[in-house]
Amino acid sequence: MGDLAIEVTGLRKSFGDLAVLKGVDFAVKSGSVTALLGVNGAGKTTLVSILTTVLPPDSGTAVVAGFDVVREPAKARQAFAVTGQHVTIDAVLTGLENLALIARLRHVPKPKQVAAALIGQFGLTEAAGKPAGTYSGGMKRRLDIAMSLIGEPEIIFLDEPTTGLDPAGRRDVWAFIGELAHHGTTIVLTTQYMEEAAALADTIALLHQGVIAAQGDQAAILKSAGDAPDLEAAFFALTETEAAS
Ligand SMILES: Nc1ncnc2c1ncn2[C@@H]1O[C@H](COP(=O)(O)OP(=O)(O)OP(=O)(O)O)[C@@H](O)[C@H]1O
Ligand SMILES: [Mg+2]
pLDDT tens track for 206-219: 999 999 999 999 99
pTM (predicted TM-score): 0.91
User: Of the residues 12, 14, 20, which should be mutated to test ligand 1's pocket, given the most ligand atoms within 8 Å of the CB?
Assistant: 20
How many Cβ atoms are within 10 Å of 97's Cβ, its own excluded?
Answer: 17
CA angle 171, 174, 178 (to 5 degrees): 140
Residues 40, 85: contact at Cβ < 8 Å?
Answer: no
42 in ligand 1 pocket by Cβ < 6 Å?
yes
Write the CA distances from 139 to 4, 95, 121, 177, integer angstroms. Answer: 33, 9, 13, 16
d(CA 158, CA 87) in angstroms, rounded, equals 11
pLDDT tens track for 127-152: 999 999 999 888 888 898 889 888 88
Output phi, psi for 184, to 5 deg: 95, 5
Percent of the chain at pLDDT exceeding 70: 97
Query: Model confidence at 166, in pLDDT bands (50, 70, 90)?
Result: confident
CB-neighbour burial class of residue 3 (10 A; exposed 0-12, middle 13-18, buried 19+) = exposed
Domains of the chain, earliest start first: 4-79+153-244 (3.40.50.300)
User: Of the residues 12, 13, 14, 15, which should be mutated to test ligand 1's pocket, given the most ligand atoms within 8 Å of the CB?
Assistant: 15
